[in-house]
Amino acid sequence: MYLFDEIWGQFMIRWLHVGSGVMWIGLLWYFNFVQIPNMPKIPDEQKPAIGKVIAPAALFWFRWAALATLVTGLVLMAWTGDILDTMTLGIVGAAEDAFVLKHTAIGIGMWMGIIMAFNVWGVIWPNQKKALGMVEVDADAKKKAARTAMLYSRTNTLLSIPMLYAMVSAQNIY
């Protein structure tokens, strides 16, 4: 009976990890590929529909999906016993040979993901709260916060490309 055994449990955590990761990176790409480039095309009187309704809802699922992805990923690596091997990029750990590429590849992806999750909770979300008027600040600070949030969101878009390669290649080719 494979249901409810350790392998199945680890698979369930991996399934939750991939699912929350799809929501996180999907919404990240929505912000960067859809929302941000099209905001200038929306008439001023219609902008609150995005700023007051769509963006806060998208940001809710975005930041909690980021946290869920981080937590499920770390829980999975702790459960399989690979956390030291992966966090040290395969240099240190239980594996017999240095640089076991599976650990190196997924470790690179994990560190990129950790940086991205920190960017979400430490930079993007606090600045979006100012930019969207959830926290009252003056007009200059609001503009600056929107720019900072956008640049860190772009940084995460940049990192998402090698991060996904690292994660998927570790699973499939190494």
Partner 1 sequence: MKNPLESLPNTVLMGVILTVIMVAVLAAIE
User: Distance between CA atoms of 126 and 145, rounded to whole angstroms?
Assistant: 8
Considering the complex, state which of residue 88 and residue 169 has its C-beta at the smaller distance from partner 1. Answer: 169
User: Distance between CA atoms of 142 and 57, rounded to whole angstroms?
Assistant: 19
Considering the complex, state which of residue 6 and residue 97 has its C-beta at the smaller distance from partner 1. Answer: 97
Q: Which residues contact 65 (CB under 8 A, 6 or more apart)?
A: 20, 21, 23, 24, 27
Q: Quick check: helix, strand or coil at residue 172?
A: helix
Considering the complex, state which of residue 95 and residue 105 has its C-beta at the smaller distance from partner 1. Answer: 105
Q: Provide the residue type at 63 as one letter.
A: R
Q: Provide the residue type at 130 as one letter.
A: K
* Minimum CB distance to partner 1, residue 15 (Å): 25
* Minimum CB distance to partner 1, residue 153 (Å): 9
* Minimum CB distance to partner 1, residue 148 (Å): 11
Considering the complex, state which of residue 72 and residue 160 has its C-beta at the smaller distance from partner 1. Answer: 160
List residues near partner 1 by CB under 8 A.
32-33, 36-37, 99, 101, 104-105, 108, 150-151, 154-155, 157-162, 165-166, 169, 174
**How is residue 96 annotated by DSSP?**
S
* Minimum CB distance to partner 1, residue 166 (Å): 7
Considering the complex, state which of residue 29 and residue 60 has its C-beta at the smaller distance from partner 1. Answer: 29
* Minimum CB distance to partner 1, residue 16 (Å): 26
DSSP H helices in 30-138? 36-38, 47-48, 55-80, 83-87, 101-118, 125-131
